[in-house]
Structure 1
Amino acid sequence: MSDNLTTLRKLDPVTFEVLRRGFDYACERMSQVLQKASFSPIIYDMVDFSSAVFDPDVELIGQTANCPVHIAAMHYSARASLAKFPRETLKDGDVVILNDPYLGGTHTPDVTLTTPIYHNDELVAYAVSRAHWTDVGQSMDTHVAGEGFRLPPLKLATGGVLNRDLMDIIKNGTRTPQYVEGDVQAQLAALWACRDEIRRLANRYGVEVMREGMREILDYTQLRTQKAIEQIPDGVYDGEDYIDSDGYSEEPVRIKVKLEVKGDRVHVDLTGSDPQCLGPINSPLANTVSAIYYSLKFFLDPQAPANAGMYRQIDFTIPEGTWLNPIWPAPTLGCTTAASSKVTGGIWSAIAKAIPERSVASTYADANWFTASVMDPETRENHVFSDLPAGGWGGTPFSDGMHVTMDPLGNCQNLPAETAEMLFPLRYNSFEMITDSPGAGKYRGGAGVRMEVEFVGPGQIITMESSRTREGSPGTNGGGFGSRQKQLRRKTDGSLESVGGLDDEGNWLPQMLGGVQFRPHESFVFESGGGGGWGNPLERDPELVARDVRNEVVSRERARSDYGVVLTDDLQVDLKSTQQARARH
């Protein structure tokens, strides 16, 4: 196969590279337009959206580095849209909208727009924009119908003209109508920006050369992926992870992974994972497949162009009726932000057995996405906002884990306190790294964060998914666990009570939250977890431990108990005492 891929190249290297970057640049333009023109903070500040361009066969050929969990699911949405509106019926300026999790969507707030791109009446590509809308009427429910409006493929625009009736229905189904139409217009503008860039390429090189470029970039990524897989020893490797609960039961929900490497192919088998759940953590097929792809991308030549060429070398078995391939009407609201993280955790734990020298310890393994409402006490107006408090990544074979960084599922950002306080009746009272949250290791994990949001008026957590509240993120190759995540309420007298997860007495509450009420001036406090450690903590350079203590990443007590490092009063390494302490360990 690899020899065939090499000999079939027709384009010279310069043309090939210009086209490859041209496809990616078209997506970059989409993202720039969407971010600058959107109305919702979750889009323009938190960057919870993705942009992609597909060839006429709906194969991914270009993208921006937005949300990986979106990208590899978008072709499912595009194909579902084209099944309803076949390509021969679509005209320039026609746009199909869809957010149904069971028709290629992820969770209901992720809304996908697809449009064909023509050059001289000839179909040359599809532009696809997926963005997380602030609210589609979602709540925590046991039926997908309770998770907001669920749109099958519908014509949002015909010939560039917006379907006003559909737009009115959509606005009636959201708590934030003031945002929705502006966000729709921004997504449409993003599609037109992609169309303009693809047409420029077609004008410059001609349709046939551009199509050859599409074929060759897919083959190129496939070839690089083949070579990367061949570097992993053949074998069958098991892994697992779990979500603490589905919110309606106290039982963990588990993923079982069997990773088979054979030659230049990988087969991911999720047989043995738990059945679909009552609560909203179920992951529709498109979301699970997307999580498989991006989780493997970290180890299968991450520098190769990100396109569907990688998909050709990966097979999967995902039994229907499990929580990772549920049957309607199982709720799916936490699929992108919770379930996909566990797919990553399970695959990475299997990879650690295949290539331990290249393995990475677990991240805090969740997006911790929450949506909340708060009433302005003066105007009585209700506001809805979202946030994504990040945590620590795991240690690697060559470096410490990153502090307070979004889970691998997305390149999103937290909601800036300045934006939140300007738009909503809120106060962000803290956003600080947590000492001793990283897992210990030769290369420690990254730190989690303590976030405290005060509701100026009456408020509630509408929905929140989280995990890692029973135990922290595991380390690898002898590394320690990161800290547990915590969900708390600070009352007006300053006292704290647990609203999810473990309290100080060891009592545990389900960590999937819905409808948690807050009185005026009560605060929601969330502590995100640290990443797992990599390698034996006793092998960590004592000077690095001392630096962590000085920077308040690690406490003096944990420096001694976890790392065997003894410090002087001025926080310098006491070499003799350290050698003795490590010998006793």
Structure 2
Amino acid sequence: MTVQTHEVDEHLRVTPITISPSTMIEWTKPEPLSPLVRRCVESLEPGDYEIYDEKLRNFLEEAREVFVRSGVTGMLRAGDLIVAVYTANGDLANASAGTYLHCVTAVLPVKFVMHKYFTNPSVGVRDGDIFYANEARYGGIHNPDQMAFMPVFHEGELIAWVAALTHNPETGAIEPGGMPVMARSRHDEGMKLTPIKVGEDFRIRDDMLDMMANFTSRAPRMQAIDVRARITGADRLRRRIVELAADRGNDFVRGLLAKLIIEAEDATRRRISRWRDGVYRSSAFIDTIGPKSVLVRGTLAATKQGSEITFDFTGTSPENDGPYNCFPHIVAAHAAVTMYAFQFHDLPVSNGALAPFNWVVPEGTIFNANPDAAISSSPMVNSLTVSVVQQVFARMMFSSEDRDQVTGNICCQPCAPLVAGPNQYGVPLAEVDSAILNTDGHGARGDRDGVDAYGFAYGHATRAPDTEDTELEQQFLRLYFRLRADSAGAGTHRGGMGTETALCIWNVPFAVWTVYAMSSYLPVTLGVFGGYPAASAPGISVHGTDVLEKLRRGDADIPRDSVELATRKAISGDYVFEHSNRPVRPALEGDIIVATTGGGGGYGDPLARDPELVARDLRDQAVTEWTACHVHHVVVDPQTFAVDENATNAEREKAREQRRSRGKSWDEFHADWEQLKPPEPVLEYFGSWPEGVRETPLARF
């Protein structure tokens, strides 16, 4: 798509590009400062930036709270959201974010509107306009992530933009939940709205709201209410920016917003400059494309030179005919999740922090797919991005003063069960279980273990909703919800534990369900410097059970965890063991769905872990006896948890000797390694082995 350029004031201009999914990433860099905006920045008095940066953050927190209290979906209440303020030409100045994903992608629809519609008399941008978007082609992540955004005018001048965005768990796709595992092209994925005007004069148009509710007819109430919530949150922020402009003037607002971007870029470049120049490489793998268990690779070579970094994803597997694809700006968004949370956590959340980054994302790969590709599971495939970006930063920063920010991977193998259908009150719902999604383990650090049930790798300020709240609203009861033993990566310091839960369909005669997950065969969450990756886990479900009768009788043998459920089988029924990523299927009351999250990656050699910490982990059920014995090689009494130091030292020396006996020269290792190849069925979506290049044509209709 090409767009005619029109003469507009320089401070409102957006860098012209040929708009396509492959090029939207170009707009993630800040726009050049116009002479007007530069004068506005220079006119700020000493102390203005510091005082009003804090005041702006208070505005953002207030708008976020209004947004959350106005909506109904579980993902919103769990913190999967952003409210943000932008410059008049669309650059992100600051945000209050539960997930940093949208700090990148919410920039792009604003710039699209300014580029294409600002001078278009049939659309235009006027005070009181309300825009809406969820189309990944024009800047989104996937269509469940929906965004309301509004221009901010004062005294007839456009001075800023504001936005509010959260995940909506229903889009009218071929499956409930908005992330159809069986999708084969964009035409299977439901409602996709290009940036579109849905309201004027500060009022949403009922016809537009009815259209969206019609698209999402499995859960129209959720859609309609949360559209209003997005607009309410954005408008609260708009009002505060207008008040600030009335108090200090339009030029002050322009200068403050630009200063936030300038400060973020300058500080980011200074920080990058103190890391060692070089090329840092990492690869990671996922083990699913929709219903198939296959191998897919993500590869990153990060070249750091001076104050700039180039991310090159050459070698990544080719795009596929499932929904596990994305576009380059989505890759940048998932990389930014790590950067905003760790490397640049103390800087303004603006796209100034992205200015030093350049991107090489080859067309035809899963990270730069055809515009007609299904991309509804793009957050799942970008587990690869989150994994490899964490790895290269760990190596890049290790020898610098920022070493204390280095960790094993935060768990980046999310698990998101979704149950859909009428709830116990007859209200149609299609809702993700955010509790299990937002309790992944954190990676270990150089001086301590990772945090158990830390949160969500894509949303560092998200939370697990209260179990009582979810059971009250949704169609299930939890049999258990607990930390999962052996889920974390072992190391000198172990990763934080992930969690596990069993959902029992409850108080409804039937429902449909799916689980969005990965890593049943190999983990994508990696350790660092000898630390082990997180654990994998199968998908488990039980059908036609007697659990309701057992609960009513008060039986004492209700399982307390997934191992008990699967091995003792105290609950009768048909047990199914499969990949954790499961397509939509029906369930009856009493059926059980197991979901598990991973732990964080380990840090350092497991043989160097303090034996007393291993004993503590065993006592706390963070690890099993097998792991204590065979991974850490610690001899500990399982009753008293006392460590036998002499026996432990002997076992560890024996383990080190076994390692040495397996050692080979590089030539020997390389000759053997070159002969290894996974089975052909596993390579269906990998591309050529080992290059990862497409070998067969891919057609979509």
Query: What's the TM-score once normalised by structure 1's chain length?
Result: 0.91
2:540 to 482, 488, 502: 488
Report the equivalent of 1:500.
none
1:97 to 120, 132, 135: 132
CA-based RMSD of the aligned residues comes to 2.5
Q: 3-state DSSP class of the match of 2:480?
A: strand
Contact conserved, 1:362 with 1:394, CA < 8 A, in 2?
Answer: yes
User: What CA deviation, in whole Å up to 9, does each residue of 1:74-133 have, x standing for no partner?
Assistant: 111222233443168212210111111111111111111111001111111100111111
Is 1:367 aligned to 2:417, yes or no? no
Report the equivalent of 1:64.
96
1:384 to 400, 408, 430: 430
Report the equivalent of 1:545.
614
Is 1:173 aligned to 2:215, yes or no? yes
Amino acid at match of 2:315: G
Distance 1:550 1:238, change over 3 A: same
Distance 1:81 1:285, change over 3 A: farther
Amino acid at match of 1:122: E
Following superposition, the deviation at residue 73 of structure 1 comes to: 0.9
Contact conserved, 2:100 with 2:340, CA < 8 A, in 1?
Answer: no
Is 1:36 aligned to 2:82, yes or no? no
Following superposition, the deviation at residue 379 of structure 1 comes to: 7.1
Rounded Cα–Cα distance in structure 1 between residues aligned with 2:60 and 2:409: 30
1:144 to 175, 182, 186: 186
Distance 1:30 1:486, change over 3 A: farther
Distance 1:487 1:523, change over 3 A: same
Amino acid at match of 1:583: E
Distance 1:379 1:48, change over 3 A: closer
Amino acid at match of 1:468: S
Report the equivalent of 1:303.
346
Identity %: 23
Is 1:579 aligned to 2:631, yes or no? no
Rounded Cα–Cα distance in structure 2 between residues aligned with 1:255 and 1:90: 40
Rounded Cα–Cα distance in structure 2 between residues aligned with 1:280 and 1:256: 19
1:52 to 55, 77, 84: 84
Contact conserved, 1:232 with 1:354, CA < 8 A, in 2?
Answer: yes
Amino acid at match of 1:428: R
1:427 to 456, 477, 502: 477
Rounded Cα–Cα distance in structure 1 between residues aligned with 2:513 and 2:354: 36
Rounded Cα–Cα distance in structure 2 between residues aligned with 1:332 and 1:490: 30
Query: What's the TM-score once normalised by structure 2's chain length?
Result: 0.77
User: What CA deviation, in whole Å up to 9, does each residue of 1:19-55 have, x standing for no partner?
Assistant: 22233222222211010111222212x2222111101
Q: 3-state DSSP class of the match of 1:572?
A: coil
Is 1:466 aligned to 2:536, yes or no? no
Distance 1:487 1:458, change over 3 A: farther
Query: Can you give the 5+ residue segments of structure 2 that lack an aligned partner in the other structure?
Result: 1-32, 548-558, 560-565, 568-575, 656-701
Rounded Cα–Cα distance in structure 2 between residues aligned with 1:272 and 1:418: 46
Report the equivalent of 1:314.
357
Report the equivalent of 1:520.
589
Is 1:436 aligned to 2:486, yes or no? yes
Amino acid at match of 2:432: S
Query: Can you give the 5+ residue segments of structure 1 that lack an aligned partner in the other structure?
Result: 497-502
Distance 1:118 1:437, change over 3 A: same
User: What CA deviation, in whole Å up to 9, does each residue of 1:180-204 have, x standing for no partner?
Assistant: 2221221111111101211222123
**Higher mean displacement: 395-404 or 261-270:** 395-404
1:118 to 153, 161, 184: 153
Contact conserved, 1:24 with 1:64, CA < 8 A, in 2?
Answer: yes
Report the equivalent of 1:499.
none
Is 1:201 aligned to 2:244, yes or no? yes
Following superposition, the deviation at residue 460 of structure 1 comes to: 5.2
Following superposition, the deviation at residue 210 of structure 1 comes to: 2.4
User: What CA deviation, in whole Å up to 9, does each residue of 1:362-391 have, x standing for no partner?
Assistant: 232133233221455x87765322113232
Amino acid at match of 1:420: T
Rounded Cα–Cα distance in structure 1 between residues aligned with 2:241 and 2:102: 22
Contact conserved, 2:281 with 2:392, CA < 8 A, in 1?
Answer: yes
Rounded Cα–Cα distance in structure 2 between residues aligned with 1:87 and 1:581: 74
Rounded Cα–Cα distance in structure 2 between residues aligned with 1:331 and 1:111: 17
User: What CA deviation, in whole Å up to 9, does each residue of 1:458-486 have, x standing for no partner?
Assistant: 55555432122112333221112321033
Amino acid at match of 1:529: G
Contact conserved, 2:86 with 2:257, CA < 8 A, in 1?
Answer: no
Rounded Cα–Cα distance in structure 1 between residues aligned with 2:538 and 2:316: 26
Distance 1:541 1:9, change over 3 A: farther
1:235 to 278, 289, 299: 278
**Higher mean displacement: 484-493 or 349-358:** 349-358
Distance 1:210 1:153, change over 3 A: closer
Report the equivalent of 1:403.
452
Distance 1:144 1:459, change over 3 A: farther
Amino acid at match of 1:182: I
Report the equivalent of 1:157.
199
Contact conserved, 1:22 with 1:201, CA < 8 A, in 2?
Answer: no
Rounded Cα–Cα distance in structure 1 between residues aligned with 2:448 and 2:106: 33
Q: 3-state DSSP class of the match of 1:552?
A: coil
Is 1:85 aligned to 2:154, yes or no? no
**Higher mean displacement: 367-376 or 278-287:** 367-376
Contact conserved, 2:540 with 2:578, CA < 8 A, in 1?
Answer: no
